[in-house]
Amino acid sequence: MAELPQSVLFCCDHNAIRSPMAEGMMKKFYGQETYVQSAGVYNDMEIDGFSVAVCKEMDIELSRHRSRSFDEMQEWGDDLAAFDLVVALSPAAQRRALELTRYFSLDVEYWQIMDPSGIGETREAKLEQYRQARDQIKARMLERFGEPTEE
């Protein structure tokens, strides 16, 4: 099993879909062993209702999540250099993370996770796309960090 990082930051475009799902899963699977946060390149959206719904199916509560950007993190005193690992879930987030961390010695990984927003006509079709993104994140997380220590 891979050793868990002390702290991990998940990031995507808006901190409304993929990165909050990853943050919630990481907290559920690995509990207090790792400090976990998430951020977006932009903060122009609230948490996505479909993300909340598909995570609730796994008993992960996201409804109280507040979206925030990299810039807001820095304004609030969250230093990117304090994270051991940054996991980017979108190409834009990877670019921004690499730009912000080029002076720090921390790892930035890119996990190619589909963006489910805007796909599907019906509620059920949309939920299915969000479940696929959620399950992609879960698979990558288990592959990277090993079996959950909690659940």
pLDDT (tens digit per residue) in 49-103: 999 999 999 999 998 888 998 888 888 777 777 888 999 999 999 998 888 878 7
Report the pLDDT averaged over residues 112-127.
Answer: 92
Of 32 and 113, more confident: 113
Q: Is the pLDDT of residue 151 over 70?
A: no
CATH architecture, domain defined by 7-145: 3-Layer(aba) Sandwich (3.40)
Q: Specify the range with the lowest mean pLDDT, choosing from 21-35, 67-81, 108-122.
A: 67-81
pLDDT of residue 127: 95
Q: Is the pLDDT of residue 1 over 60?
A: no
pLDDT digits (tens, 9 = 90+) for 137-148: 999 999 999 989
Angstrom distances, CA of residue 61 to CA of 49, 55, 98, 151: 11, 7, 30, 13
Q: Does this model's pTM top 0.85? A: yes
Residue 93, SS3 per DSSP: helix
CA–CA distance, 126 with 135 (Å, rounded to integer): 14
Q: Are 27 and 36 in contact (CB under 8 A)?
A: yes
pLDDT of residue 37: 92
